[in-house]
Structure 1
Amino acid sequence: MYSLPAEFEQFHWMVDMVQHVDIGLVVLDKTYTVHVWNGFMTHHSGIQPHEAIGQNLFSLFPEIPAYWFKSKSKPVFELGCRSFVIWRQRPYLFKCRNVRPITQQAPYMYQNVTLNPMTSPKGEVEYLFMAVEDATAEAIAEGKLSG
């Protein structure tokens, strides 16, 4: 019986995890072109990967202020450090519908977003990846506590 090389199997697993993890994963280059758009992002935004990949982030989501987002991503590209968009500062980066049945009180998905550098083998940061977390339940719970 033929067995796939371990590296290929691990690569397949990684691709499967990226597509099915319960967090949004988006990869952008320095021109803000989308290179990766995982299943979480498709499910919540309604935008298919073939519609997102190769497109400019600000064309796909004109509600994202380009100047503001570029200032958030500048330390990621220039210093190789993380940057954060917290729902308390800005309720969402990507205006996505709220699809959680328990938290339907919210008109959209509240998000915490981490912008992470992607370092090349040469140590250069040419890309960043965004990890988009659904923070809707937390936002609703906090609203009920303070309300």
Structure 2
Amino acid sequence: MSLPAEFEQFHWMVDMVQNIDLGLIVIDKEYKVQLWNGFMTHHSGRQSHDAIGLSLFELFPEIPRAWFEVKTKPVYNLGCRSFITWRQRPYLFKCRNVRPVTQQADFMYQNVTLNPMRTPTGDIKSIFLSIQDATAEALVADNHKA
């Protein structure tokens, strides 16, 4: 017996979200984590069941709350993306560098995109963050400065 195509596609989507080589986090307007993918578990050392329901500021007290709220304001209010590059701030989430032998960095440099998530009625009640490991790019740039 075969599964309905919609169920199979849903399963694929869940598998992609958990295994993509990007951090994916969904937060609500209170900055509480709604989704925490496998990339974030691997790089932060925090399991999804330990992150979901907690505020980003509880999980990562190094994030300056007022600064981050300014970054999320246009996403919630205007429905546009917001960006944080490693050049503005080396990381949003202090994660270990998982390739310390090949890359000489104590942490993962990150590029982060904050994206609106619209409900079927068009409201924005959550945003998702995509976190890209930019360590290699940052180290190349630093080596060119020297």
Query: Offset of 1:15 from its aligned partner?
Result: 0.2
Deviation at 1:101, TM superposition (A): 4.7
Q: Which residue number corresponds to residue 122 of structure 1? A: 121
Cα distance in 2 for residues equivalent to 1:101 and 1:127: 34
Q: What is the RMSD computed on CA atoms of the aligned residues?
A: 0.8
> What is the CA-CA distance between 1:136 and the residue it aligns to?
0.1
How far apart, in 1, do the equivalents of 2:90 and 2:57 lie? 18
User: Counterpart of 1:39?
Assistant: 38
Matched position secondary structure for 1:94: coil
Matches within 5 A, 1:132-143: 132-143=131-142
SS of aligned partner of 2:25: strand
1:32 aligns to what SS in structure 2? coil
Give the whole-Å Cα distance in 1 for the aligned partners of 2:36 and 2:138: 25
Query: 1:63-142 to 2 correspondence within 5 Å?
Result: 63-101=62-100, 103-142=102-141
Letter aligned with residue 145 of structure 1: H
Distance 1:63 1:15, change over 3 A: same
Query: What is the TM-score with the length of structure 1 in the denominator?
Result: 0.97
| Cα drift, residue 103 of structure 1 | 3.9
Structure 2: distance between partners of 1:131 and 1:100: 20
Give the structure-2-normalised TM-score: 0.98
2:144 corresponds to which residue? 145
What is the aligned residue count?
Answer: 146
Letter in 1 for 2:72: S
How far residue 72 of structure 1 moved from its aligned partner, in angstroms, is 0.2
Deviations 1:44-94 (A, max 9, x none): 000000000011110110000110000000000010000001000100000
Q: Structure 2: 5+ residue runs without aligned partners?
A: none
Q: Structure 1 residues 107, 94: closer, same or farther in 2, change over 3 A? A: same
